[in-house]
Amino acid sequence: MLTSKPAETIQNAHKRIRPYIHQTPVLESRQLNELLNAQVYFKCENLQKVGAFKMRGAANAVFSLKPEERQKGVATHSSGNHAQALALAARLAGIPAYIVMPSTAPKVKVAAVKGYDAEVIFCEPTLAARETTLQEVVARTGAHFVHPYNDERVIAGQATAAKELFEQVKEPLDVVITPVGGGGLLSGAVLAARSFSPATKVWAGEPAGADDAYRSLQDGMLVPQTAPNTIADGLLTSLGDITYAIISKGVEQIILVSEEEIIEAMRFLWERMKLVVEPSGAVPLAAALKEKEVLKEKRIGIIISGGNVDLSKLPF
């Protein structure tokens, strides 16, 4: 349904989640516009509920469930923003949430998930342990599994961020840039552009130390992530088969950025724009700065994906 009727599916998702999300602001920086000789519009999902765009997809997944499906709650495995988003969406729907988290998960994130009344189940910090524990939880509770990104309902929800950006800026954008990890936000941006701003090209920024999406596009096949190493801890996951299928057909290019470039972009957003942005959220700006010659005199949309950062571990 999402890929066959993307405009209708995204519009329905937006109507469904509108009572539960913020329409985040679009901000500009005169200094950055002068530096790039371009017009840059930041869609500030760091100011979204739970501090990240993930609230959109989680809310759409939860509120898409039929009443009989909702009764036993929802479950997922996540140590990041999806865990908090699904926990909050479930609380808003008045249903239980079961979140499998690795034993190494930051205490602040565990506390946030518990603060939304979700049940946290700990496991060993491996993907195999996460998946096995999740299966046990689903078998025990009958809860409905909501994947962090490889789920059409989640992708449709994430697509509403780009849809709002196109509506708020009014005039057509030449390029929209998002970060890419599992690909939910990026694939949503592809479908939103195709539906509501067909002249807009879609790019992504990706850490050079976690470059599975870049390699997947280069090789023409889904390449799994192996031993990622980056400060952008929200972008460590591999693409899924659903997100890869959308991204491989709709993304013009993925720009790899170094750790130094990510930190430089993050510093700019903190110092110049007074925005609390996590490293993953700064990646698309790092990509734009790297490609400034190509982007000269363009109208550029950048989606800042989130602002959940451990203040004791700032890189500057």
Would you state the pLDDT for residue 110?
Answer: 87
Would you state the pLDDT for residue 198?
Answer: 97
Percent of the chain with pLDDT over 90: 86
Residues 253-297 pLDDT 10s:
999 999 999 999 999 999 999 999 999 999 999 999 999 999 999
pLDDT score of 227 more than 90 = no
Judged by DSSP in three states, 118 sits in coil
Would you state the pLDDT for residue 294?
Answer: 97
Tokens of 105: 């998960």
pLDDT band per the 50, 70, 90 thresholds, residue 101: very high
Report the alpha-carbon distance of residue 16 to residue 18 in Å, rounded. 6
Would you state the pLDDT for residue 132?
Answer: 95
**Angle (nearest 5°) at CA 77 between 75 and 81:** 100
Would you state the pLDDT for residue 153?
Answer: 97
Phi, psi for 178 (deg, rounded to 5) = -125, 165
Lowest mean pLDDT among 30-34, 55-59, 152-156, 308-312: 308-312
Please identify, in words, the CATH class of the domain defined by 6-52+151-313.
alpha beta
Query: Domain 55-145 carries which CATH code?
Result: 3.40.50.1100
Q: Which of 257, 316, 308 is nearest to 285 (CA)?
A: 257
Q: Which of 144, 52, 130, 132 is nearest to 97 (CA)?
A: 144
The letter for the amino acid at 210 is A
Would you state the pLDDT for residue 136?
Answer: 97
Work out the average pLDDT over 137-145.
Answer: 96
Would you state the pLDDT for residue 226?
Answer: 84
Would you state the pLDDT for residue 1?
Answer: 75
pLDDT score of 127 more than 80 = no
Work out the average pLDDT over 86-110.
Answer: 91
pLDDT score of 106 more than 80 = no
Tokens of 164: 């709002």
101, 134 Cβ separation under 8 angstroms: no
Residue 293 backbone class (left: φ over 0; alpha: ψ -120 to 50; beta: rest): alpha
Every domain of the chain and the residues it spans: 6-52+151-313, 55-145
Q: Would strands 26-27 and 39-44 be described as parallel, antiparallel, or unpaired?
A: antiparallel
DSSP class of residue 125 equals S
Work out the average pLDDT over 90-113.
Answer: 90
Work out the average pLDDT over 147-167.
Answer: 97
- Contacting residues for 13 by C-beta, under 8 A, at least 6 apart: 56, 60, 64, 153, 156, 157, 159, 160
106, 310 Cβ separation under 8 angstroms: yes
Q: Would strands 97-102 and 119-123 be described as parallel, antiparallel, or unpaired?
A: parallel
First-to-final CA distance of the chain: 45
